[in-house]
């Protein structure tokens, strides 16, 4: 208890001065806990990541006001969780994306699966270039997006999370693993499995579309 109280106290003047100097190049692991007690350090942290987090939310939520609310909720949650941050478990960026994932997942469950189907994901980023080129040649863009969303719904939550973090949010595999709370090798397996499933689903949809077109009078 005493240790937790000590962590929540503002830094002394010298420590704060040094921390502020360091955050000019970004809030590092050693300063992250201070976002809960120092407004300037939190502002630096917010400015560093707000665009990325807004993008993260916008790609998963179809309503502008809801996206703005969730972005604010993510940063509020980061303040509440700052004292629990451990550098050994991932970078500040990966840690914040982990919080973002949790906040959006809770909102998805609250909103229901039907609303989640209207997410605005950049579908073309979810597959390797070779996969996308082969499929796009046979399915028009609108149909491809529809089938992609349907295929995404059939992925497990863990597979989908890693796929989105890497392909949509452009995190490295190591960062995605930290955000998802798994080992890099586990993240790699989930990513490979998710892409394989999507490829199979979309190839099947492409074949079905081709057959249907051939049957038209």
Give yes or no for residue 173 having a pLDDT over 70: yes
CA dihedral 66→69→74→75, nearest 10 degrees, is 150
Q: What is the pLDDT of residue 139?
A: 41
Helix (H, G, I), strand (E, B) or coil at 170: coil
Q: What is the pLDDT of residue 102?
A: 92
Q: What is the pLDDT of residue 23?
A: 55
> Exposed, middle or buried: residue 166 (CB in 10 Å: 0-12, 13-18, 19+)?
buried
Q: What is the pLDDT of residue 183?
A: 93
Cβ atoms of 144 and 151 closer than 8 Å: no
Q: What is the mean pLDDT of the chain?
A: 76
> Exposed, middle or buried: residue 217 (CB in 10 Å: 0-12, 13-18, 19+)?
exposed
The answer to whether the predicted template modeling score (pTM) of the entire model surpasses 0.75 is no
- Residue range 165-177: mean pLDDT, rounded: 90
| Residue 178 banded pLDDT, cuts 50, 70, 90 | very high
Q: CA-to-CA distance for 186 and 142, rounded, in angstroms?
A: 33
Greatest CA separation found in the chain? 81
Cβ neighbours of residue 142 under 8 Å, at least 6 residues apart?
A: none
Retrieve residue 45's tokens.
């942290």
Between residues 169 and 76, the one the model is more confident about: 76
| Residue 202 banded pLDDT, cuts 50, 70, 90 | confident
118-144, pLDDT tens digit by residue?
554 555 556 665 665 555 544 445 455
Going through the chain in order, the beta strands assigned E by DSSP cover none
Q: CA-to-CA distance for 10 and 31, rounded, in angstroms?
A: 12
9-66, pLDDT tens digit by residue?
455 554 554 555 455 567 788 888 888 988 888 988 998 999 899 888 888 887 788 8
| Residue 207 banded pLDDT, cuts 50, 70, 90 | confident
Between residues 105 and 6, the one the model is more confident about: 105
Q: CA-to-CA distance for 158 and 162, rounded, in angstroms?
A: 7
| Residue 94 banded pLDDT, cuts 50, 70, 90 | very high
| Domains with residue ranges and CATH for the chain | 22-120 (1.10.1740.10), 122-217 (1.10.10.10)
Cβ neighbours of residue 60 under 8 Å, at least 6 residues apart?
A: 104, 108, 119, 120, 121, 164
Q: What is the pLDDT of residue 24?
A: 59
Between residues 152 and 165, the one the model is more confident about: 165
Q: CA-to-CA distance for 126 and 144, rounded, in angstroms?
A: 12
Helix (H, G, I), strand (E, B) or coil at 122: coil
* Nearest Cα residue to 84 out of 25, 32, 160: 32
């Amino acid at each position: 208890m005493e240790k937790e109280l000590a962590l929540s106290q503002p830094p002394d003047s010298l420590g704060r001065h040094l921390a502020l100097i360091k955050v000019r190049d970004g809030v590092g692991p050693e300063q992250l806990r201070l976002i809960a007690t120092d407004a300037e350090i939190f502002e630096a942290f917010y400015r560093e990541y707000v665009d990325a987090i807004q993008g993260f939310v916008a790609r998963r939520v179809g309503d502008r006001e809801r996206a703005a609310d969730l972005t604010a909720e993510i940063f509020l949650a980061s303040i509440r969780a700052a004292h629990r941050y451990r550098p050994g478990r991932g970078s500040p960026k990966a840690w914040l994306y982990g919080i973002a994932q949790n906040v959006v997942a809770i909102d998805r469950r609250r909103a229901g699966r039907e609303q989640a189907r209207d997410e605005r994901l950049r579908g073309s980023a979810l597959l390797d270039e070779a996969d996308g080129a082969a499929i796009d040649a046979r399915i028009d863009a609108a149909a491809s997006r529809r089938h992609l969303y349907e295929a995404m719904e059939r992925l497990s939550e863990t597979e989908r999370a890693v796929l989105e973090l890497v392909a949509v949010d452009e995190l490295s595999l190591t960062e995605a693993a930290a955000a998802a709370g798994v080992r890099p090798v586990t993240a790699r397996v989930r990513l490979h499995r998710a892409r394989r499933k999507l490829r199979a689903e979309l190839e099947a949809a492409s074949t079905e579309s081709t057959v249907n077109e051939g049957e038209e009078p």
